Structure 1
Amino acid sequence: MAGKNSTPNPPGSFGEWLRQARRSRGLSLRALGAALQVHYVYLSQLERGVERPSEQMVHRLAAFFGHPDPHQLLLLAGKLPGPVREALQRLLQENSGGAQAVLRRLMGGEPAAMSRETVLAAWREEARRQWMFHIHDTVRALQELESYKDGGSDRPGSPDRGPAEQGPAQRVSAAPGLAERGSAAPALAEMEAMVREGQRYFDADEPGKLWRQIARIRHALRQHFGYATFAPLLGQGVAEDDASLIERMERLDEVQNPERPSSWEGLRRVVPAWPADEEQAVGRPAAAPPGLDLAEYRDRTLAGWLGKLIGGALGTPVEGWPAGKIAAEYAEIRGYLRPPDTFNDDTTYELAFLAAMERTGGNPTSIDLGLEWVERIPVACTAEEMALRNLQQGILPPLSAWLNNPYAEWIGAQMRGEVMGFVAPNQPERAAALAWRDARISHLREGMYGEVFNAVMVSLAYARKPLRELIEEALRFVPPRSLFARAVRETMAACEEARAQAHAQPPAQADQAWRQALAAVEDRWVKRYHWVHTLASIPAVIIGLWFGVGPGYYDSTAPRPSPGPDAREAFTRTITITTMCGGDADCTAGQAGAIAGVMLGSQAIGPEWRDPLGDVMESWVWGMERLRLEELVERTCRWGWPARAADKT
């Protein structure tokens, strides 16, 4: 996106050197890209100064062109050579973490890692600032409020003064709502105990735990004092606490949108397969899923995580691009567009979900999950950002999804639903219930349905069912008259028609049948909504899977489409077609890649996709910044297998 508006490289830049070196060898961008096994558009972006090369890429180019001094090229690229960087870092070891983070970023370290250090340093300092300048002051104000209530005639608003003479503190403390609850002293004692606990986290410099305590204190303040304080001023019918407020909001919403509910009871009313009992649905399985042994479960879960990471890395360079722009710039995508990494904010919430599973023994409530966000996630976007702000202010789920959140039907919930399927293999009710609990932190209606659908698709993918059957069964957990269900069904119909017509076309045209399906739904769904909206994004996932894995994969009653793709080709086509559909391509390709990975297994993911990623997931999740994939799979599979069997392994 930045390429068309970027300024030309200045003389003596790395991009200018690369262009001259390439031309001196008589190489086209495509030829050089083939030799280095990177996309030619990425090389074009390096030459134009749109992208900055990694240190590894600088050394590769220096070796390829025989440049005698790679350190000089690093300087041209705006990076410091390793020895210089290490020397400067040693000089600044005594400085604050924030200063070191900024220095490393300026020195051209890996962008994701450097940004992470900067973000985490700022998050830590903000927690300490909030604690010092807000929490103590708030509790002290409440203590003064209580002293006014119990004070003598020399206090503002003492009992021997008339209502007109009473000060605001006395009028508030004498409010009927608070009087019905009795003295505020027990609540203040609870606040003081919570503050003492938070001070320990402050003194120990544990920012995640400090943020969690800030949210807990603010939530308790809302329940004990907020509603009781304002009820007399606003009249009868005011909610008494967050629970009664959300109950009224959901009831009103379901009167206005009876076919698109967000509450558990509302979903039970309109969704054919919705579980009757929430607690029973989320319980850990008592027996292994039929037809799946533990080794295969681990392999497919690994493939699911790899598919998520690979799809995210593939789609990130074209995130937000429409399909037409991708086609004009890249024509066909068959591999990574730039050197990939595993850092993607889409996985942030899935790691927090695993942490909450571990904290609660596998049964986290929506509030448990929300507090895990507060403790571990420093920054977010769109609906997640609004929810995180609410959470930090003590507005816990599900109210966190409702207040100040215009993005509650965007893709943020759908993009994080895979992990609920990973921990519930072939257990669709459990996957749906866990996804619903997670979605309630930040999303409503169509946004919520996207996460439930994604989780159930992944869950059912362990069962080796044909794609068409997976989609139909997953739709049974979505309100049938919702816009989401309609978008999925219309996309399936477009895929069927395009595939049928492709049989009469030459192979080259038949291979592009997915474009016909996209064109059929583009105006109604893709272009009608913002590119981050759930309804604009789900068509790409369906199209990628339909023309990648194919609707008949695993179908023993019907032959696979001819010529039938092998598993590796099926995986590659799934993630590349999804990416070429455009829109929020890292989210959609990550979702399609995870589903295809679970369906096909790790052998379907070739080394050209897997090897460049390495074996570590990077994130900015506090306490989970670097996880080996082997550890990630173990921590995931622990919750999808019967307790005794999983604990023995």
Structure 2
Amino acid sequence: MKRMKLFMISILVCLGATANTQDGNGRAAPPVKKIPLSVLKDKIKGGWAGQTIGVAFGGPTEFRYNGTFIQDYQTIPWYDGYIKKWMDEFPGLFDDIYMDLTFVEVFERVGLDAPVDSFANAFANAGYVLWHANQAARYNILNGVNAPESGHWLNNPHADDIDYQIESDFAGLMNPGMPNVASAVSDKIGHIMNYGDGWYGGVYVGAMYSLAFVSDDIQYVVTEALKTIPKESDFFKCINDVIVWHKQYPNDWKQTWFELQKKWTEEVGCPDGVFVPFDIDAKINAAYIVLGLLYGEGDYTKTLEISTRAGQDSDCNPSSAGGILGTMGGYDNIPEYWKMGLAEVEDINFQYTGMSLNKVYATSYSQALEMIKRNGGRVDAHEATIIVQTPKAVRFEKSFDGSYPVQSVAVNQNLGSAYTFEFEGTGVVLRGGAHKESDALPDHTFNLELLIDGQKVEQFRMPTNYTTRRNEIFWRYQLPKGKHTVKVIVTNPKAGYQVRANDYIVYSDAPVDGSAVHTVRHSKK
């Protein structure tokens, strides 16, 4: 395999080659990697710094380029003070960092064996704003649907979204050279908010971080980490395609981008992305991470530029790519140009957390040392000995299996006390939310009932509070194929407050001809 030059002098001299030995019975023992503690600490620091740099760099382009890439002639700004500007003016940009930090804090407070409820409750009750799968999971947990059901696609229409992928960095950073342990951490925490391809995104990113501690070969890290993902999954197939196309078009990342666009950008799950260019699906955005890593060839600038210019979630994707590359080369080898202004924010706590970068550098390092010892390794005064793991595939699971979006119907009206419509298919999602007419009004929580074909199937709440909101009015999958009547009843309407429906998406058990004509009746009662 061709070794790629990095932005740093090869660290193999200081790390030494991985040793393969035999046990007492003559069998091959697991490979061992010895890493000086100073190098290990620098790598962890580089991982956290790299993702912070990446998310700030891509901030102004996030979801502004959907179904297209950012042209070469368009300059993406970067200057001294840029990171602090975003931290001061839009702290919500750093959701992929503060979600990571929430989980790091739980490990620190409760211990490395903390139960899943500790993580779920910590982020569900945090003060920060969330979106998509994270917000759907938060709503579920606050309303009695606990992990892992909170992330399952039947309870979370955003199950395949990018959420755990963007916040899984901690799992790899606390498990250097141990991708399977990172996967076990991701199994526990990633299923709080995701399932299927959405979960695989976090497993894969965590594995790339883990392997970046023990290899400076980007192609090796990308391909070896993919062994943690089941081959029958769409996520595996998508990322494997990027690897194949990179070999086919080694000097043209845009050609590979076009191939991805043609094959992998049909959104099925996320109600905000069906039938429109917006695509927050984990696998396509993970493909853009890999696009940056492979075509960036270890150059920090090229890596961030490509993973950002690919579009869609173009702050989170360079964040992951920059963090993985930062782990591989270490903090000291991140070019000074990209560390401009970093020092001035390293002691500032990310909003809604008790952690700054300097604190998480130290905390994550301490947790990594403990995980090394827990998994057969050793920590001496100046060196860590890691038992390097061969990646193993996690179990196979698939979201939205047998469900295909076939129609979107505009509604654009307030529900009043009740709303009725008919559709033909196997599932439906009614998009909308609860609102108050003035910010001066206190929040109100609506109580609603859902009836399908005359049978009450759900009672639920819709707060006007944005932090605890329900992302969609309702969703239902796996219905018998045929015509269905839906009625939504608002049991406690209140003047000055509304539940507004935007549209509904109809699902069936097979895709249909795009030219087909459908007639749908809907009425307000």
Q: Report what 2:129 is aligned to.
A: 379
**Which residues in structure 2 correspond to 1:318-333 (within 5 Å)?**
318-322=61-65, 327-328=70-71, 330-331=73-74, 333=76
TM-score by length of 2: 0.58
1:533 aligned to 281, 295, 302, which one?
A: 281
Deviation at 1:438, TM superposition (A): 1.0
CA distance in 1: counterparts of 2:56 and 2:379, whole angstroms? 31
1:638 aligned to 366, 390, 395, which one?
A: 366
Deviation at 1:324, TM superposition (A): 7.4
Could you list the per-position Cα deviations for residues 288-337 of structure 1 after superposition, in whole angstroms to 9, with x for gaps in the alignment? Answer: 97221211111011111111001100111000133776535953547469
CA distance in 1: counterparts of 2:381 and 2:143, whole angstroms? 42
Q: Report what 1:389 is aligned to.
A: 139
**Residue identity in the other structure for 2:318:** A
1:317 aligned to 60, 71, 80, which one?
A: 60
Contact 2:215 2:221 in 1 (8 A): no
CA distance in 2: counterparts of 1:338 and 1:325, whole angstroms? 29
Q: Report what 2:306 is aligned to.
A: 577
1:291 aligned to 10, 25, 34, which one?
A: 34
**Which residues in structure 2 correspond to 1:195-594 (within 5 Å)?**
290-322=33-65, 327-328=70-71, 330-331=73-74, 333=76, 335=78, 339-341=82-84, 342=87, 343=91, 344-402=94-152, 404-499=155-250, 502=251, 513-526=252-265, 530=273, 531-550=279-298, 570-594=299-323
RMSD, aligned CA: 2.7
Indicate the SS of the match to 2:82.
coil
Check 1:361–1:459 CA distance in 2 against 1; reply closer, same or farther (3 A cut): same
Indicate the SS of the match to 2:324.
helix
Contact 1:397 1:440 in 2 (8 A): yes
Could you list the per-position Cα deviations for residues 461-508 of structure 1 after superposition, in whole angstroms to 9, with x for gaps in the alignment? Answer: 000242222222212211111000000011111111111xx4xxxxxx
**Residue identity in the other structure for 1:632:** V
Task: Indicate the percent of aligned positions where both proteins have the same amino acid.
Answer: 25
**Residue identity in the other structure for 1:620:** Q
**Residue identity in the other structure for 1:590:** S
* Off by >6 Å, runs of 4+ in structure 1: 643-649
**Residue identity in the other structure for 2:59:** T
CA distance in 2: counterparts of 1:323 and 1:394, whole angstroms? 35
Deviation at 1:435, TM superposition (A): 1.1
CA distance in 1: counterparts of 2:259 and 2:79, whole angstroms? 28
Deviation at 1:528, TM superposition (A): 5.1
Q: Report what 1:130 is aligned to.
A: none
Indicate the SS of the match to 1:424.
coil
CA distance in 1: counterparts of 2:330 and 2:99, whole angstroms? 24
CA distance in 2: counterparts of 1:385 and 1:633, whole angstroms? 27
Contact 1:351 1:621 in 2 (8 A): no
CA distance in 2: counterparts of 1:592 and 1:542, whole angstroms? 7
Indicate the SS of the match to 1:291.
strand
Indicate the SS of the match to 2:83.
coil
Check 1:494–1:322 CA distance in 2 against 1; reply closer, same or farther (3 A cut): farther
CA distance in 1: counterparts of 2:67 and 2:73, whole angstroms? 10
Deviation at 1:446, TM superposition (A): 0.4
Check 1:580–1:527 CA distance in 2 against 1; reply closer, same or farther (3 A cut): farther
Could you list the per-position Cα deviations for residues 348-400 of structure 1 after superposition, in whole angstroms to 9, with x for gaps in the alignment? Answer: 22111111111232122322211221343443111110111121223221121
Unaligned runs of 5+ in 2: 1-29, 274-278, 383-525
Could you list the per-position Cα deviations for residues 600-626 of structure 1 after superposition, in whole angstroms to 9, with x for gaps in the alignment? Answer: 11233222221223223542334x1x5
Indicate the SS of the match to 1:290.
strand
Unaligned runs of 5+ in 1: 1-286, 503-512, 551-569
CA distance in 1: counterparts of 2:211 and 2:200, whole angstroms? 16
Indicate the SS of the match to 2:35.
coil
**Residue identity in the other structure for 1:305:** W
CA distance in 2: counterparts of 1:346 and 1:419, whole angstroms? 11
Deviation at 1:584, TM superposition (A): 0.3
Higher relative contact order (CA 8 A, sep 6+): 2
**Residue identity in the other structure for 2:239:** V
Q: Report what 1:608 is aligned to.
A: 337
How many residue pairs match? The answer is 329
**Which residues in structure 2 correspond to 1:60-139 (within 5 Å)?**
none
Higher strand share: 2
Could you list the per-position Cα deviations for residues 62-111 of structure 1 after superposition, in whole angstroms to 9, with x for gaps in the alignment? Answer: xxxxxxxxxxxxxxxxxxxxxxxxxxxxxxxxxxxxxxxxxxxxxxxxxx
Check 1:547–1:354 CA distance in 2 against 1; reply closer, same or farther (3 A cut): same
**Residue identity in the other structure for 1:327:** I
Contact 1:313 1:336 in 2 (8 A): no
**Residue identity in the other structure for 2:305:** T
**Residue identity in the other structure for 1:464:** S
Larger radius of gyration: 1
Indicate the SS of the match to 2:341.
helix
Check 1:336–1:435 CA distance in 2 against 1; reply closer, same or farther (3 A cut): farther
Contact 1:366 1:440 in 2 (8 A): no
**Residue identity in the other structure for 1:454:** V
Higher helix share: 1
Indicate the SS of the match to 2:369.
coil
Contact 2:162 2:282 in 1 (8 A): yes
